[in-house]
């Protein structure tokens, strides 16, 4: 890639990474929040799901805001909201106020919704077509890499007395990301307001984008439920320490990120059989979740690594879909907003439903639910793949 493209992708990636770190800052230390705030597993799931609900609420206006003011302004506003939420959470945790902690997570989620639309929209709109698949392969690692960082850092910084050191790191990352973004030149692609209404997706891409969004809903339902509860699962069933459980979860996320990049290269290759690469893994995942329900530690560890690998290929296709389906640059923010809505509907539902099903810590039934949702994901992906255009884009 050219230097200017690399710089733009790197800065947008870091913005997304800062947002993802905020999103995942709670999951690795869920047992700490449960003990300090005296909450149940179901209530703890709200720490992730309310964040995601706020992201859904912010996603649609984020598409419109991006049309009006540009992708850079959307990301900057998102970073500001994320940082304010982190500061509020510090105070609320210290006071032992669970409702205020939920409110802080909701506020940060609004910022994440803006980031989730603005950053990939900037990449889709501004990266030349020949670099698009590779750029989206890199972008798709933002969630697993952010979770890796948090699975390693959060157990070390977050403890019963205070989560201030953890939240300080998050605020610092938001500030650095904002400064870097402000320094990067970015061509504004905005709606001039001359049409009768706000810009929307072209009718021709709405139906395939709905399949894409449904597939991502299922994906995030499974993986955010898993990521929220995986450290609790490891510690409760196999008696690992929280730090060791977090390190294993981080390794799984690294595997996931590696396959994000590999799938980006596969996406760009003209001979790739998309059904084999992007749909078959979803069918295999349905069976892997059941293994978690009954396997011994070596079997579960192997299944964890395989889950990270197979789950790494799907987001790359999802995030590439708006750019590949778009008929003009103005289609991208709306289509990306639909992806983010689908993503966060799954996040809203996954952790609390899984938490309610496993209460009190009956994990087998929860993993059966994840397997059923993976079947629906595979079905939706099979429909989406038929409509995507290999190695082409009308955006650039």
Query: What is the reported pLDDT for 253?
Result: 84
Query: What is the reported pLDDT for 327?
Result: 65
**Taking each helix axis from N to C terminus, what angle separates 297-311 and 203-238, rounded to the nearest 10 degrees?**
160
Query: What is the reported pLDDT for 77?
Result: 96
Class of 3-187+197-387 per CATH?
A: mainly alpha
- Among residues 147, 179, 174, 153, the alpha carbon closest in space to that of 165 is found at 153
**Taking each helix axis from N to C terminus, what angle separates 363-387 and 331-358, rounded to the nearest 10 degrees?**
160
Report d(CA 18, CA 186) in Å as an integer: 20
Q: Six-digit token pair at 70?
A: 């540009």
Residue listed under structure tokens 């972008």: 139
Count how many Cα atoms sit within 13 Å of the Cα of residue 352 in the half-sphere of its side chain. 15
Give the CA diameter of the chain. 63
- Among residues 151, 76, 136, the alpha carbon closest in space to that of 278 is found at 136
Q: Six-digit token pair at 370?
A: 């994840």
Identify the H or E element spanning 303: helix 297-311
Is 201 strand, coil or helix? coil
Report d(CA 102, CA 243) in Å as an integer: 25
Q: What is the pLDDT along the chain (396 residues), one digit of tens a residue?
A: 577 888 999 999 999 999 999 988 887 888 788 888 888 877 887 888 888 889 888 987 887 888 888 889 999 999 999 999 999 998 898 888 999 999 999 999 999 999 988 998 888 777 877 777 778 778 878 887 888 888 888 888 866 556 778 888 999 999 999 999 999 887 766 554 444 334 455 666 777 888 889 999 999 999 988 988 888 899 888 988 878 888 898 898 889 888 888 887 777 776 777 777 788 998 999 999 999 988 899 999 999 999 999 998 888 888 877 777 766 666 777 787 788 888 878 888 888 889 888 876 688 899 999 999 999 999 998 888 877 655 444 444
Q: Six-digit token pair at 32?
A: 């700490």
Q: What does the domain layout of the chain look like in residue ranges?
A: 3-187+197-387
Query: What is the reported pLDDT for 372?
Result: 95
Query: What is the reported pLDDT for 196?
Result: 37
Report d(CA 94, CA 104) in Å as an integer: 13
- Among residues 148, 166, 167, the alpha carbon closest in space to that of 157 is found at 166
Tell if the pTM clears 0.75, that is, is over it.
Answer: no
Rg, C-alpha atoms of the chain: 20
Query: What is the reported pLDDT for 79?
Result: 96
One-character DSSP codes across 257-270: HHHHHHHHHHHH-T
CA distance to 106, 154, 158, 214, 245, per residue, from 162 (Å) = 20, 12, 7, 38, 21
Residue 27 contacts residue 124 (beta carbons within 8 Å): no
What is the DSSP-derived secondary structure letter of residue 229?
Answer: H
Query: What is the reported pLDDT for 145?
Result: 85
């Amino acid at each position: 890639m050219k230097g200017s493209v690399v710089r733009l992708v790197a800065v947008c990636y870091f913005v997304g990474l800062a947002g993802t770190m905020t999103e995942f800052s709670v999951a690795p230390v869920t047992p700490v929040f449960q003990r300090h705030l005296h909450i149940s597993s179901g209530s703890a799931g709200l720490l992730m799901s309310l964040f995601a609900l706020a992201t859904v609420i912010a996603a649609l206006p984020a598409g419109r805001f991006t049309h009006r003011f540009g992708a850079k302004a959307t990301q900057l506003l998102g970073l500001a909201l994320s940082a304010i939420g982190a500061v509020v959470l510090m105070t609320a945790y210290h006071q032992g106020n669970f409702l205020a902690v939920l409110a802080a997570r909701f506020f940060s989620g609004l910022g994440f919704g803006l980031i989730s639309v603005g950053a990939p929209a900037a990449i889709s709109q501004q990266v030349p077509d020949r670099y698009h698949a590779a750029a989206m392969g890199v972008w798709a690692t933002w969630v697993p890499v952010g979770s890796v960082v948090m699975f390693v850092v959060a157990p070390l910084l977050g403890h019963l007395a205070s989560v201030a050191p953890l939240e300080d790191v998050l605020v610092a990352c938001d500030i650095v990301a904002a400064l870097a973004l402000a320094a990067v030149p970015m061509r504004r692609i905005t709606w001039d307001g001359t049409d009768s209404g706000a810009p929307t997706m072209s009718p021709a891409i709405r139906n395939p984008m709905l399949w894409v969004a449904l597939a991502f809903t299922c994906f995030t339902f499974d993986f955010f439920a898993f990521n929220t509860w995986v450290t609790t699962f490891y510690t409760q069933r196999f008696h690992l320490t929280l730090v060791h459980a977090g390190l294993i979860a981080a390794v799984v996320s690294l595997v996931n990120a590696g396959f994000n990049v590999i799938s980006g290269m596969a996406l760009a290759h003209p001979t790739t059989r998309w059904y084999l690469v992007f749909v078959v893994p979803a069918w295999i995942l349905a069976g892997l979740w059941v293994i978690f329900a009954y396997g011994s530690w070596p079997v579960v560890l192997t299944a964890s690594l395989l889950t990270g690998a197979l789950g790494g290929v799907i987001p790359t296709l999802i995030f590439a879909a708006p750019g590949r389906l778009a008929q003009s640059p103005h289609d991208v923010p709306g289509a990306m907003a639909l992806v983010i809505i689908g993503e966060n509907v799954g996040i809203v539902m996954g952790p609390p439903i899984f938490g309610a099903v496993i209460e009190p810590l009956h994990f087998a039934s929860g993993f059966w639910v994840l397997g059923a949702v993976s079947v629906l994901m595979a079905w939706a992906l099979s429909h989406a793949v038929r409509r995507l255009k290999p190695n082409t884009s009308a955006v650039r």
